[in-house]
Chain A
């Protein structure tokens, strides 16, 4: 299997950032909220 060169991958990632900035922002927020909730759960259990 031939892998894409790194420059091609970076160019595609950059294109996604340019085309869908709000959608990507939402995915980052979703990730951060999920991590926050995961961190919160053990803290709540310890209390």
Chain B
């Protein structure tokens, strides 16, 4: 589970770097292979019953990888002025979208949960208690990620154009 959580941000960062720096196909595949290798290493090394040290390692890695996603298209700018309008607009887009994704997932969960409850009461159908937990998990992982990824800016260069914040 922790491997997949780390993989979400690591593979996203690799894809964004490949798009931003126009990596050739072989380099893209090599970077993805390295990412999968690192994740496999974590999966093998992480104990089944993680101690506090492993939990802290996971927490630090998750924070670092989230920050990496926020800066990876602008790592090349560090040698110049990293403080470009595009950097802030890119982060604004990601931040607003993650909030929107959370809101949509929550509303969808509430709607589907109410629908299940209504069906259960109307037709006297007994749903297992874990159905709601599964629904929450599906919306919180698959739907939330899919919805968020749909608005990750594809062309970072267009964000550099001067425009007032909305």
Contact = CB atoms under 8 A, between A and B. Distances in A.
Interface of A: 12-13, 15-16, 19-20, 22-31, 33-35, 37-39, 42
A22 B32 contact: yes
Given A26-B4, A31-B141, A42-B130, A19 B154 contact: yes
B133 interface: yes
B15 A20 contact: yes
Interface centre among A16, A19, A30 (most CB of B within 10 A): A30
B81 to A, nearest CB: 28
B35 interface: yes
Interface string B1-26: 10111011001101100010000000
Contacts of B149: 16, 19-20, 23-24
6 contacts: A13-B150, A22-B35, A26-B11, A27-B144, A29-B4, A38-B130
Contacts of B3: 29
Contact of A34 (B1, B8, B11, B32): B1
B15 A23 contact: yes
Interface in B148-163: 149-150, 152, 154
Nearest to B12: A23
B8 A27 contact: yes
A31 B138 contact: yes
A39 B145 contact: no
9 closest Cβ pairs, A-B complex: A26-B7, A30-B4, A22-B11, A27-B145, A31-B141, A29-B4, A33-B1, A34-B137, A23-B11
Contacts of B141: 27-28, 30-31, 34
Contacts of B57: none
